[in-house]
Amino acid sequence: ITKDARGRRIFEKLAEEEKEHLGTLEARYAELLRQDPQLESRPTFLFFKGAANGLFAAGAEQLAGGVNDREALMIGIKCERGSHRFFKRYGEKFEDSEGKKIFLEFADEERAHLELLIREYRSLVERQRRRGTPATDGNKPRRRANA
């Protein structure tokens, strides 16, 4: 995704944390199903899949098209900002409950990811400035070859 080693490590760290988030959600959902086997037959309060669909799709499409290091970080920032808003908005729809707690915990984690990417973006800009590397020199978007 990015040639910048620091940026690559951050993206790898975030990917691992997202896998952990998914595991946490799946475990909590399994526990809810154990407590209430009829859960899936009940009316849905939140249309989570539909609402969450597309949070990262546009960013993934942009990355697949080839981007430079700064652009990769900006795409990550945009995705994490959207993810934070999503979890916060849904968490606020709940009365005090386990559901509210889960969504707001994830909102906090996504905010931390957002802040990490912003710090890394600023650091990359500063490193490039010190090296005298313009944003595009040596950091040009990689284009995929036409098939």
Place of tokens 């490193």: 127
Residues 93 and 14: their CA atoms lie apart, in Å, by 27
The residue count of the chain comes to 147
DSSP 40: G
Q: What is the pTM of this model?
A: 0.70
Q: Is residue 75 part of a domain?
A: yes
136 pLDDT more than 60 = no
* Segment among 12-16, 43-47, 68-72 with least mean pLDDT: 43-47
Total domain count for the chain? 1
Specify burial of residue 139 (Cβ count, 10 A radius: 0-12, 13-18, 19+): buried
The residue among 14, 114, 132 whose CA lies nearest residue 74 is 114
Q: Is residue 34 part of a domain?
A: yes
Query: Could you tell me the two tokens for 40?
Result: 């899936």
Range of the domain at 62: 5-39+54-131
39-61, pLDDT tens digit by residue?
777 666 555 555 555 667 777 77
